[in-house]
Amino acid sequence: MTTSMRQERGPRVRPVGVMIAVLVAIILVFFVIRLVTDVPHLADGSVPDDDLAKKYVAHPWLAYGHMAPGVVYLLGAPLQLSRRFRSRSYARHRRLGRVLLGCALLSGVLSVVLGIVFAWGGGAETTATLVFGSWFVACLVLAFRAIRGGQVAQHRRWMIRAFAVGLGVATIRIWVGIFTGIQIGLLGMGDQTMPLRATFGIAFWLGLSMHVAFAEWWLRRTPAPDA
């Protein structure tokens, strides 16, 4: 690759890498907060005061069966999508890919179950989870089917789509923070606000749909690399 080609690609790739790192960091922070909040109650059998925390404590195997594999997947997926890692160690890429695919499928299926069993944000969260959780699992299955058929470029594109949805969890948290800030501001002015649960469902739709749209935009403007 020539220097001019590297310079041409650099400005386009680097911001996306920084964005991915920030979003993964947000997910890790909230996962740690979840652990710090839930583990003491799980250890002593107490019930938390927070309504959302109650649901996690009431269904720990389901909740953490979704979150823990999801975190493993999101930490490993950027490495899998790295061309340098694939080219230098394709055998490790394949072995790690099998592990991450299993983690992602488990997390994705359980996310759909969680959306049905206890959606704190109500119907909006349930429908968003069903739609985008199903899309996430479908992307993984199609990626696996593509690589089994030797279609490397298509495999990579489907994995990018799945990874984008997974990262949407972080953007959901950002939207929840924005809505919470707006509500605090409105309360300070004495205005009525929408219940936080309702905004939680809206945040799901906004965060996940943004990531699906961005993935498609990125794939359309980025030529597929050589297999």
Asked if 136 and 110 touch (Cβ cutoff 8 Å), the reply is no
Q: Give CA–CA dist 27/73, Å, rounded.
A: 12
Q: What is the pLDDT of residues 193-205, one digit of tens each?
A: 556 777 888 999 9
Average the pLDDT over 167-180 and give the result.
93
Asked if 104 and 39 touch (Cβ cutoff 8 Å), the reply is no
pLDDT of the residue at 195: 66
SS3 string, 145-161, reads: HHHHCCCHHHHHHHHHH
Asked if 133 and 205 touch (Cβ cutoff 8 Å), the reply is no
DSSP secondary structure string, 32-60?
HHHHHHHHHHHHHT---SSHHHHHHHHSH
Q: In 3D, which of 11, 159, 133 has the Cα closest to residue 79?
A: 159
The pTM is what?
A: 0.85
Q: What is the pLDDT of residues 7-55, one digit of tens each?
A: 444 444 578 889 999 999 999 999 999 999 999 999 988 888 887 888 8
Q: How many CA atoms lie within 13 A of 177 on its CB side?
A: 8
Asked if the model's pLDDT at residue 4 lies above 80, the reply is no
